[in-house]
Chains A and B, each alone.
Chain A
């Protein structure tokens, strides 16, 4: 699963598969972190809340 595991091979198949996987996980993670930080900033008053 990581380059440190036994099966890992430095070839294009691994790059493509885990490249896409880590990209998807990164996007999800970044989205969550972004929402969390924005919430924290709004709570602390550094950002305005958007009301509808």
Chain B
């Protein structure tokens, strides 16, 4: 029924099966839509956020999504600026994943602020000394860059290609893609860093505060490094998941292995610097404020286990696995390591957001706990549903994986 829209030569499931596939994700979107309407209509009291937990689940999702979506700019940088030709077979997927992550994060932020209609104040009345302003500007501009990078992929649809204007425009955009990749890299460097800087500059919150270089706390650089280390892992995971669901190979091994190898080195470098920063914090800032390491980890569920999981299980372990060529060549180990790395980075963001706020600074204030409401889960999971839906649509109708035909020569093409 929709075979004229499907890329030339490849096989896709029937429209009926595809429709049923979209149903759960549409369900998630509906849940999230309802949650968003409730929050806009009744206010943020619909969530369990409070004056203590000013940042909560949504911010964790935002930061996590943006960190995982870093694969887009970094793969773009490696492909168009460094010139790693093998990554051309995965760059489309990376761009779409990035677009999903950033657009989802921006949509969630629109609901998260108390006065969404005033969101433009961040730009119009910008306080340039605030890290969050830096984040907002760069993320918005970078979303624009991602949209511009996505457009040629959309225009590469078989039917749209028949329109000469679209074909030419998509083509011409693709020719200058290096310009957009470079701008995207520049913008991403700053917003990934500023997301870390946001917490490092809070000098009155000893858990998050860090020393730094000039105006940039060390978390600025650590967040960039962790994002570029784990972003490619997320791209690999999404690609492998797509391959598992579609039951065919989509990306040549050399592309995946290159990303995994680069990720291994960056993750190792990140772990060394992260451990150094943590030690500097434990022996520098923490005693300076009259606190001990254990003061932060004896309240509620936030124990030392979080540090152990973040650094050892989800940091050093995946770095070692990915470093070993024989291990990263095996799909099982590759996926395990990528998954652990992604969990580690989300845990890192979680700790900076939630644990920073949960642990009171004044000695006589009590510890409060927090669990998200169904509205918060709804909006967060809606982004996941949106992502799967958009990626499914892209995979079905757009030539996302250039080597798909070559890697699957035995599959018959679907007749109209």
Contact = CB atoms under 8 A, between A and B. Distances in A.
A binds B: yes
A34 B123 contact: no
A35 B173 CA distance: 6
Interface residues of A, number: 24
A31 B141 contact: no
A39 B172 contact: yes
Contacts of B164: 43
Given A7-B125, A34-B176, A28 B145 contact: yes
Interface SS majority for chain A: helix
Category for how many chain B residues contact A: 20 to 34
Contacts of B141: 21, 24-25, 28
A32 B206 CA distance: 45
A13 B176 contact: no
Given A38-B172, A42-B168, A24 B183 contact: yes
B176 A21 contact: no
A1 B120 CA distance: 11
Contacts of A17: 128, 134
B329 interface: no
A36 B187 CA distance: 23
Contacts of B173: 31-32, 35
Contact of B186 (A5, A24, A42): A24
A21 B137 contact: yes
B405 interface: no
B402 interface: no
A38 B173 CA distance: 10
A31 B169 contact: no
B249 interface: no
B126 A32 contact: no
B168 A5 contact: no
Interface string A13-46: 1100110010011011001101110110011000
A6 to B, nearest CB: 8
Contacts of B183: 24, 27-28, 31
Contacts of A34: 172, 176
Contacts of A50: 171, 175
Q: Which 10 pairs of residues, A with B, have the shortest CB-CB distance?
A: A35-B172, A39-B169, A39-B168, A17-B128, A35-B173, A38-B172, A31-B179, A1-B124, A27-B183, A42-B168
Interface of A: 1, 5-7, 13-14, 17-18, 21, 24-25, 27-28, 31-32, 34-36, 38-39, 42-43, 49-50
